C-alpha cells in the first residue's frame, strides 16, 4: 500500500510540475474575451440600440480632439466607427489586426450604417487583417454591394468619368466619378485616411476621364456606394 501511495504521489508531482511549466512559458495565454453581441445582432439592431462587439482594426483616419474614426471587421462583416473616443497614444496603437472590444450605438447617416458614440479597449490576443473581397462581378449592383458595407473590398475595371476636388485646403478630399457597367457612383480618396502625401492620392489627382482603374478600399456608403479608396491601379 505504501508503495502504491508513493507512486501516486510521484505522478501527482509530475503533473503539477508540468502544469507550472506551461503556465510560466514565454508565450502568454490569450484571454478568453467575448462580446455580448455579434455582427448579426448589429444588422438586426434598431438605430440607437447599444451594442458590444469584438472586431479587428483594418485602418483608421487621423486622430483629432480625442476622437478617431476606425474601419474594422470580423469574420461576418465590416464596421465603421465614427469618431470613437480615444486619446492620442491609444490611437497610435490601432495598427491593422489590433483586436478591440467596442461599445457604442448603431447609427445611420445618408445610408451609411455605423457605430457612433463608441468607446473601445484594446484586447490582448491575435486579431485579423482581412484580404479585400473581390466584388467586381457585382460592382454595378448597389443592392448587392450594400450587403458588404464597410468591408475591405476590391473593384476592377471601373471607368473614370471625371474627378472632383473638395473645395477646402484643410480637407482636400478627391472624388472619382466612375461607371461600373451602366451604374454611376463616386469613389472617395479621403484626406483623413490617405492624405496628399500618399501614393493613392497622387495617383488619383492625375486620373483622366476615360481611364480604366482597379481599386481597393473600405465600402463606405453615402446615398449609394462611396468606397474610401486605399489603392489604385491604372490600366
pTM of the model: 0.85
Three-state DSSP class for 33? Answer: coil
pLDDT digits (tens, 9 = 90+) for 143-171: 999 999 999 999 999 999 999 987 666 77
Cell 481611364 belongs to 211
Compare 7 and 156 and report the one with higher pLDDT: 156
What pLDDT is attached to residue 224?
96
Taking only Cα atoms into account, the Rg of the chain, rounded to an integer number of angstroms, comes to 23
For residue 21, give Cα distances in angstroms to 16, 24, 25: 9, 5, 6
Res. 1: pLDDT tops 90 = no
What pLDDT is attached to residue 4?
42
What pLDDT is attached to residue 166?
77
Compare 2 and 85 and report the one with higher pLDDT: 85
What pLDDT is attached to residue 171?
75
What pLDDT is attached to residue 156?
98
What pLDDT is attached to residue 194?
97
pLDDT digits (tens, 9 = 90+) for 69-103: 999 999 999 999 999 999 999 999 999 999 999 99
pLDDT digits (tens, 9 = 90+) for 41-56: 999 999 999 999 999 9
The string over 3-31, giving b where at least 16 C-beta atoms fall within 10 Å of a residue's C-beta and e elsewhere, is: eeeeeeeeeeeeeeeeeeeeeeeeeeeee
pLDDT digits (tens, 9 = 90+) for 200-228: 999 999 999 999 999 999 999 999 999 99
Q: Which domains does the chain have, with CATH numbers?
A: 39-122 (2.40.50.140), 133-234 (2.40.50.140)
Mean pLDDT estimate for the chain: 89
91-95, 123-127, 141-145, 173-177: range with lowest mean pLDDT: 123-127
Distance between CA 219 and CA 178 in Å, rounded?
15
- Contact of 178 with 187, CB cutoff 8 Å: yes
DSSP class per residue in 205-234: HT--TT-EEEEEEE--BSSSB--EEEEEEE
Tell me, rounded to whole angstroms, the distance of Cα 149 from its chain centroid.
Answer: 11
What pLDDT is attached to residue 187?
98
What pLDDT is attached to residue 169?
67
What pLDDT is attached to residue 37?
98
Res. 28: pLDDT tops 50 = no
Amino acid at each position: 500500500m505504501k508503495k502504491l501511495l508513493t507512486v501516486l504521489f510521484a505522478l501527482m508531482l509530475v503533473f503539477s510540475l508540468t502544469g507550472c511549466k506551461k503556465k510560466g512559458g514565454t508565450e502568454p495565454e490569450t484571454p478568453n474575451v467575448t462580446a455580448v453581441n455579434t455582427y448579426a445582432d448589429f444588422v438586426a439592431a434598431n438605430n440607437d440600440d447599444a451594442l458590444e462587439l469584438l472586431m479587428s482594426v483594418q485602418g483608421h483616419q487621423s486622430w483629432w480632439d480625442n476622437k478617431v474614426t476606425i474601419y474594422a471587421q470580423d469574420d461576418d462583416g465590416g464596421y465603421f466607427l465614427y469618431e470613437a473616443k480615444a486619446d492620442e497614444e491609444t490611437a497610435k496603437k490601432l495598427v491593422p489586426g489590433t483586436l478591440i472590444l467596442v461599445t457604442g450605438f448603431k447609427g445611420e447617416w445618408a445610408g451609411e450604417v455605423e457605430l457612433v458614440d463608441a468607446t473601445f479597449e484594446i484586447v490582448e490576443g491575435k486579431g485579423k487583417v482581412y484580404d479585400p473581397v473581390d466584388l467586381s462581378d457585382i460592382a454595378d449592383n448597389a443592392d448587392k454591394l450594400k450587403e458588404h458595407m464597410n468591408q475591405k473590398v476590391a473593384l476592377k475595371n471601373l471607368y473614370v468619368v471625371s474627378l472632383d476636388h473638395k473645395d477646402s485646403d484643410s480637407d482636400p478630399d478627391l472624388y472619382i466619378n466612375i461607371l461600373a457597367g451602366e451604374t454611376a457612383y463616386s469613389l472617395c480618396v479621403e484626406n483623413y485616411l490617405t492624405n496628399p502625401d500618399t501614393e493613392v492620392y497622387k495617383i488619383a489627382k492625375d486620373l483622366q476621364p476615360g481611364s480604366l482603374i482597379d481599386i481597393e478600399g473600405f465600402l463606405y456608403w453615402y446615398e449609394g456606394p462611396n468606397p474610401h479608396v486605399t489603392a489604385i491601379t491604372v490600366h
